[in-house]
Amino acid sequence: MSVETDAATTDDDHAADDLARQLGEAITDMPAYRRFVESKQAVEDDDEVQSRIDEFEQLRQEFMLARQSGDADQEALQEVQDAQQRLHDHPVMAEYLDAQDALEARFEGLNDLISEPLDVDFVGESGACCQD
């Protein structure tokens, strides 16, 4: 490999790096991203939501331990599911989940645009070693 080829590759790498940084900056300006960040902060600031998260996590942990020891039953599973539903039903958490879904959908669209000229699902296959 020649020095000229190495220099060209390095320039191409820098151009791709610059585009990736620009994409990251553009994403932070997207309304879907700002909505996600704001709703995440609202979840973190809401004591009632935090209490419901703690309740859900506690019940889930207890269920996982019971399942490992063979003591889990349908009633315990239902308690976990009910706690999760109470958490998701809270308006602040519901807004967060909706914002998260919207942002993920937007990211999927961006992934499609990035993947199109590559003839590969950029995010779906870029880190996988052994896919069919």
Q: What is the mean pLDDT of residues 34-52?
A: 98
> Using CA atoms, how far apart are residues 99 and 93, in angstroms rounded to an integer?
10
Residue found under tokens 């809401």: 46
Cα angle: 120, vertex 111, 25; to 5 degrees: 135
Region of 119 (left: φ > 0; alpha: ψ -120 to 50; beta: rest) is left
Look up the pTM and report it: 0.78
Query: pLDDT tens digits, residue range 60-117?
Result: 999 999 999 999 999 999 999 999 999 999 999 999 999 999 999 999 999 999 888 8
pLDDT at 125: 62
pLDDT at 11: 74
Torsion of CA 39, 43, 48, 51, to 10 degrees: 150
DSSP track, 69-92: TT---HHHHHHHHHHHHHHHHSHH
3-class SS of residue 128: coil
